[in-house]
Chain A
Amino acid sequence: MTDPELVAQIKVGNEKAFRLLVEQYQRMVLHTCLGFVQDRNDAEDLAQEVFIELFRAMDKFRGESGLSTWIYRIAVNRSLNFIRDQKRRCFFQSISTRLTGGTTVDVADQSWRSRPDHEVENNQRRANLYQAINRLPERQRVAFTLSKLEGLSYQDIAGIMGLSLSSVESLIHRAKLGLQKQLYQCYKKGL
């Protein structure tokens, strides 16, 4: 089934068509969410929400942009909202920690002690990388993250973000410069 056929079938309530759509796009959506939200469970939760929103908003889809462009847009918006909520959550958590006089213990990953050296190194690199990406201005972050997804051209990114091709090129160029600068600082500190 082609994308317009899938959409038409879902609009008339064909459950099998929706299942096909999920199967066709689930990896793409999950990978997009993972680009923004590094926790696998959160990303999968978000990816499911993307399809739920998609299903509920299907009547509004007119097909002016491609189906995949529309899906990417929903995935990016959901991910950005999640990040904003997470920042708010961190803010509240720091307040409640101060009020209760407790200390926050990062229990996310305590197993690194038993891992081989290269994995410990990669954990540090991963932490530096995502910290650097998270510090980028939002539009640079979106453009850069999308550019690292499989098979997305700058033209596709322009379509998803609703920007001109030159704006996308400029955003990605600045994102890379910013990342490189931050990673160099981390590298210098680690020496």
Chain B
Amino acid sequence: METRSHAQIQKKLIFYLDNQLGAKEHQQVVQHLSGCDECAAFLRELQSTLCLLEENKQHEPGAYFYASIQNRLQAGHRQPLLGIRLLQPAILVLLLALGIRLGIWIGTQSYAESVLSEQAVLVPFNDLAEEPIEEFLLNLK
């Protein structure tokens, strides 16, 4: 069978499963599937996948569903928990950015301090350089 005809059929399978094909197209698909293992296998896979959507219909609300609504309504103007939970990552990033900024600031400050202290160390040496060593020794006497 031509690859083109496989592709043509595969495009129709989701509509075939939902019974949305016209009589002629439906017949074409049925006929193709009876002689094509490849398309039939994909049809089975598609069906197994799409039927998982039905799972949602089995869920029932929890036993305290209404009680939780009442509690949240009574909590009144308090921020919903969901909102806070969603904001957490944003707050984390903000804190991280602040931390980095603080780090940079501390870094800059300590650099400035080290420049100052270097200068402070340099001053006496300069004084010593201006003062001949012999005179300094003489002054001690």
Contacts and interface: CB of A to CB of B under 8 A. Distances in A.
A183 B49 contact: yes
B137 interface: no
A89 B89 contact: yes
Interface in B40-94: 42, 45-46, 48-50, 52-53, 56-57, 59-62, 65-66, 68-69, 72-73, 80-82, 86, 89-90, 92-93
Interface in A109-159: 122, 125-126, 128-129, 148, 150
Contacts, number: 100
B93 A27 contact: no
B106 interface: no
A129 B53 contact: yes
Interface stretch (B7-15, B22-30, B117-125): B7-15
Contacts of B57: 31, 150
Given A96-B96, A100-B96, A176-B14, A40 B52 contact: no
B73 A52 contact: yes
A132 to B, nearest CB: 9
Nearest to B56: A34
A99 interface: yes
Nearest to A126: B52
B86 to A, nearest CB: 5
A92 B49 contact: no
Band of interface residues on B: 35 or more
Given A40-B59, A49-B82, 16 more contacts: A22-B66, A22-B69, A26-B61, A45-B82, A47-B65, A88-B90, A92-B89, A92-B93, A125-B45, A176-B14, A176-B15, A176-B18, A180-B11, A180-B46, A184-B10, A187-B46
Interface of A: 19, 22-23, 26-27, 30-31, 34-35, 40, 42-49, 51-52, 55, 82, 85-86, 88-89, 92-93, 95-96, 99-100, 122, 125-126, 128-129, 148, 150, 176-177, 179-180, 183-184, 187
18 contacts: A23-B66, A27-B61, A30-B59, A47-B65, A48-B68, A52-B69, A52-B72, A55-B69, A55-B73, A88-B86, A89-B89, A95-B93, A125-B49, A128-B49, A176-B14, A176-B15, A183-B49, A184-B10
